[in-house]
Structure 1
Amino acid sequence: MSATTAEARLMVPAERVHAQILAILNSWGMAEDLAATTAEMMVETDLLGVDSHGISMLMTYEARYREGKLDLQARPRIIRQGPATALVDAGAGLGHPVSVFAMNLAVDKAMQTGVAVVGVRNSHHFGAAGIYARLAAKRGAVGMVTSATRGISMVPTGGAVPVLGTNPLAFAAPTGRNPPFVLDMATTTVAAGKVKVYHLNDRPVPAGWVMDGAGASVTDPHLAHEFVMQRPEGGLTPLGGTPEMASHKGYGLAMMVHILGGTLVGASFSPIRNRTQSEKDPDGLGHFFMALNPAAFREEGEFEHDLDEAIDVLRATPAADPARPVQVAGDPEETARARRLRDGIPVPPALDRHIRAICERGGAAYLLG
């Protein structure tokens, strides 16, 4: 990043980012309580340092709103359930409110039955999977989240064109004295939104993230963004590296996630949807939420105690570079959250221009600057 770009970047307090998101969602006519939940999840995502899935997603959400695909009044509706399962229809609304509802429902059931799964269908993008897994951990449950995706960006092992999405997977477990263990990952080398962040910040993309149609690595951030978001050839590499380097594991993991977050709940598969649905049809995404009550297996507090000890051992591992101590999943996000609560959420100039334009088109007040 150039010094000029760094100097021009806004550092916005979380409260103001929340107010900005809420103002835009309200200008689109989203129900007040649903907008409040959505804004809360988006700001929390930015605080955790996941810039690809927070306020920067408003550009995509505006496109879905203008296309008439979103029902911003839709409320989660349980259409099938048993003691340890439920299927929820999102009503073609944004994925954040239904995901909070579904994860909490899964935890409620798991506290009674030991383990529970809640599936969601007829949804849209829900942000970062990890924020919902964290909801389970905060309530003392182990949480796992997967989702189908709208975009087609992953080039399968041995392929030349993208077929699968980034298909996220998140897992969180509660602790006693440490922050929760939280793994939040894409099944591609990085999420598509991460390339968007490099594009917005005009920073070179690391080699191995994006390939062109001939299988060569793309590092120019704007060209990489084109291959991921616009061009029919090339795209993101599967988890594990370039298709030449990777085994089928990353590619297979992406399919596993789609089976849980898509096929199981009756959601669409991106390549098929793009051939069969009209431009006005909702995205039809599916999500998967599992909660597990540690008390079904251990005496109260034993699970959390043992996990704390395991985390302590990992953190005490001698570091190859003393300046970079060993961390566990969730540590970088907790560090980012503390820093951003203190210093503000970074908003690069390109994103700020997009937010200003969204405000102008929707008649919302611009509040970031």
Structure 2
Amino acid sequence: MLHASHDSIRAQILAILAAWGSPPHLAETTADIMVETDLTGVDSHGISMLMAYEELLQKGQLRIAGEPRVVRDFAATAMVDGADGLGHPAAFMAMKLAVEKARAFGIGAVGVVNSHHFGAAGCYARIASDAGLIGLVTSSTRGILMVPTRAAEPVLGTNPIAFAAPAGKHKPVVLDMATTTVAGNKVKVYHLNDKPIPEGWVQDGEGRPVTDSHVANDYVFKHKDGGITPVGGPESLGGHKGYGLALMAHILGGTLVGASFSPLRNRTQKPDDPNNIGHFMLAVDPRAFRDIDGYESDLDAVIDVLHATRPADPAKPVLVPGEPEEASRARRLVEGIPMPESLVQHVKDVAARAGVDYMLKAAH
């Protein structure tokens, strides 16, 4: 296990993106978000995505130099065309624009179309909370991974939802979740680490649980029957709620902005057609509703009550969403970002094919 420094990971990503033809400003935004994703412990959406991005590039689906641009602008709303590039720059532009509009109008809503995978949704929600605003992010997906409640085959994706709210004395509350039990790429992480996955994450085409991470990886990424269950698991445990959340996320991040719905698109898609993933960014200024000091003190009080709740295990105090990621970030800035040897080898191979040096270095 290599504990790579975040600086060396950023340099490696930048070198590969540049070799692929990404303009420097787009590559820097993408690399910054991918590194931040790994620092916060979301290993499924950081440097481990390079292999998937390389595959998109090789198929001709990814326009790596695509320049995002605003194509509609109406007061508190706007639309960004991602130009078929990686999703990070387009999503970053969209949330920055939503923040600007929220400061002017109290609320800002910006959609993105013609995009690709954008990493962890929480990174964009945090842009809003870092600006003192409430942020909400949803996205459509390209993969067909979720098995809807009562179904035996996947239809929807892992359509993420992220929410961030700034507090006063406390760090922001940040929720970042897949609408499936786990994100599909988390199965990939277990596969890379050669670890069994928990029962209930993935099911086969007969509805039976799959725990072998290598078999599960095939179900998730090689288009076999079966897939990932909705968040909440089986219907009796509330899986229908996760299914509904995924549909909501697609309506906002897909239907509303004009992005594709994979089960329909697969009937007509050509091999080199871009993914046309969509995103939805919402920013809300608390000042539009009340005095900011009152808002912050009330949210601080809510967090204080949650922290003071008696834990089931005294060794594991009650946390609020966002705190595990903050702890991971602080730790990994010092100790490095853990990368299994299988992932390190993949990165070496991607770098070699791109014609750039291998640059990962241990944090110490």
Bin the TM-score by the shorter chain. Answer: over 0.9
- TM-score, normalised to structure 1, is 0.96
Is the CA contact (8 Å cut-off) linking 1:239 and 1:250 kept in structure 2? Answer: yes
| 1:79 maps onto 2:93 in alignment | no
Gaps of 5+ in 2: none
Which residue is 1:29 aligned to?
21
From 242, 258, 268, give the equivalent of 1:250: 242
| 1:120 maps onto 2:112 in alignment | yes
From 167, 173, 189, give the equivalent of 2:165: 173
Instruction: State the distance in 1 between where 2:239 and 2:132 align.
Output: 36
From 189, 204, 214, give the equivalent of 1:212: 204
Instruction: State the distance in 1 between where 2:203 and 2:48 align.
Output: 24
Partner deviation per Cα, 1:254-297 (whole Å, 9 max, x = no partner): 11110000000000001111111101000001000000000101
Gaps of 5+ in 1: 1-8
Letter in 2 for 1:313: V
Is the CA contact (8 Å cut-off) linking 1:153 and 1:236 kept in structure 2? Answer: yes
Is the CA contact (8 Å cut-off) linking 1:122 and 1:286 kept in structure 2? Answer: yes
Which residue is 1:280 aligned to?
272
Give the SS at the match of 1:109.
helix
Give the SS at the match of 1:205.
coil
Instruction: State the distance in 1 between where 2:276 and 2:103 align.
Output: 30
Which residue is 2:259 aligned to?
267
Instruction: State the distance in 1 between where 2:116 and 2:155 align.
Output: 19
Which residue is 2:296 aligned to?
304
Which residue is 1:363 aligned to?
355
| 1:10 maps onto 2:11 in alignment | no
From 299, 306, 326, give the equivalent of 1:334: 326
| 1:43 maps onto 2:35 in alignment | yes
How many pairs align? 361
Is the CA contact (8 Å cut-off) linking 1:116 and 1:291 kept in structure 2? Answer: yes
Which residue is 1:5 aligned to?
none
Is the CA contact (8 Å cut-off) linking 1:159 and 1:243 kept in structure 2? Answer: no
Shift of 1:300: 2.8
Letter in 2 for 1:242: P
| 1:64 maps onto 2:64 in alignment | no
Letter in 1 for 2:346: H
Is the CA contact (8 Å cut-off) linking 1:149 and 1:165 kept in structure 2? Answer: yes
| 1:191 maps onto 2:183 in alignment | yes
Letter in 1 for 2:240: H
Query: Please, what is the CA RMSD of the aligned residues?
Result: 1.0
Instruction: State the distance in 1 between where 2:269 and 2:21 align.
Output: 25
Which residue is 1:237 aligned to?
229
Is the CA contact (8 Å cut-off) linking 1:209 and 1:242 kept in structure 2? Answer: no
Is the CA contact (8 Å cut-off) linking 1:158 and 1:243 kept in structure 2? Answer: yes
| 1:200 maps onto 2:187 in alignment | no
Instruction: State the distance in 2 between where 1:72 and 1:194 align.
Output: 25
Which residue is 1:353 aligned to?
345
Instruction: State the distance in 2 between where 1:47 and 1:350 align.
Output: 19
From 95, 98, 102, give the equivalent of 2:94: 102
Shift of 1:246: 3.8
Letter in 1 for 2:80: V
Instruction: State the distance in 2 between where 1:216 and 1:244 align.
Output: 15
Shift of 1:253: 1.1
Letter in 2 for 1:55: I
- TM-score, normalised to structure 2, is 0.98
Partner deviation per Cα, 1:200-258 (whole Å, 9 max, x = no partner): 00111000000011111111110111111113201000111135644422111111110
Partner deviation per Cα, 1:80-108 (whole Å, 9 max, x = no partner): 11111001101001000011110010010
Letter in 2 for 1:210: V
Give the SS at the match of 1:276.
coil
